[in-house]
Structure 1
Amino acid sequence: MKYVCLVYGEEKDLHALTPERGAKLNADSLAYDRSLDQEGKLIVAQALQSVQTATTVRRRKGKRLVTDGPFAETKEQLLGFVMVEADNLDEALDIAARIPLAEIGTIEVRAIYDVPGS
């Protein structure tokens, strides 16, 4: 079954890291992604640019509404995601717990919805 691990954290915490700690976090994250790939568990992993670069799109009454910035004001921002293949939720949670950013942020684990007829 496919799961997505949504990586949340406060961007200010990332900016507060020393250059050495930031480089180590990046290296650890890439190494973890490679290990998941070697295990045949990784589908895709991506870090996202700053929430300040976000643009929100809605459609209301047939009109496109575009707003700069994220949709919701929250303490934590979506920093990235890791999509994995796991046998069950317990395995997906174990994978999520080992994501390096789990030490300073939160990982939300959700099963992928299989659209009927797809």
Structure 2
Amino acid sequence: MIIIYGNAELWTSFPAEQARKALAEQDAFNVRYKETGELLGAYGNADAVRARTVRVRDGVSAVTDGPYLETKEYLASWYLVDVEDEQRALDLAAEIPFASVGAVEVWPILHEAAGNAL
């Protein structure tokens, strides 16, 4: 799994033309690696303002706004890739356009959870 961290302050600092160019580059990356079969899916998250936290205590569900971040960065997007080895995942992560302005992490998936084969 490749994770891209977002930063609202950073995103809003891009001039409109630069933002359009970055999104076009990201779309090209997605198309290229979808065609090779290495990109299984690419998912962008809403910003943290739209996130909700669910807690269940004593059988009662409570939904609150949040999470309330104590950092400027948040989980903005994630990619599920199927590659030969860790080095290939790192190579793909380095090609993600946003890696040049923010953090991109690579996390190995240990196993597929039951029920995902639907």
TM-score using structure 2 length: 0.88
User: Over residues 40-74 of structure 1, what are the superposed CA-to-partner deviations in whole Å (9 max), with x where a residue is unaligned?
Assistant: 10100011221111111122232212110225422
Say if 2:15 is the partner of 1:18: yes
CA contact (8 A) 1:45 1:81 kept: yes
Question: How much is the aligned-residue C-alpha RMSD, in angstroms?
Answer: 1.7
- Give the conservation status (yes or no) of the 8 Å contact 1:54–1:68: yes
With CA pairs under 8 Å and 6+ residues apart, which has the higher RCO, 1 or 2? 1
- Percent identical pairs in the alignment equals 33
1:9 matched to which residue of 2? 6
Structure 1 position 116, deviation (Å): 7.6
Unpaired runs of 5+ residues, structure 1, are none
The CA deviation at 1:9 is: 2.7
Letter in 2 for 1:82: Y
Q: 2:91 maps to what in 1?
A: 94
Using the size of structure 1 for normalisation, the TM-score is: 0.88
Map 1:1-118 to 2 at 5 A: 4-70=1-67, 72-114=69-111
Cα 1:58–1:43 change in 2 (3 A) is same
Q: How many residues align?
A: 115
- 8 Å CA contact 2:8–2:72 kept in 1: the answer is no
Is the CA contact (8 Å cut-off) linking 2:3 and 2:106 kept in structure 1? Answer: yes
Gaps of 5+ in 2: none
Structure 1 runs (4+) greater than 3 angstroms displaced:
115-118
| Amino acid corresponding to residue 95 of structure 1 in structure 2 | L
Deviation at 1:36, TM superposition (A): 0.6
**Higher strand content, 1 or 2:** 1
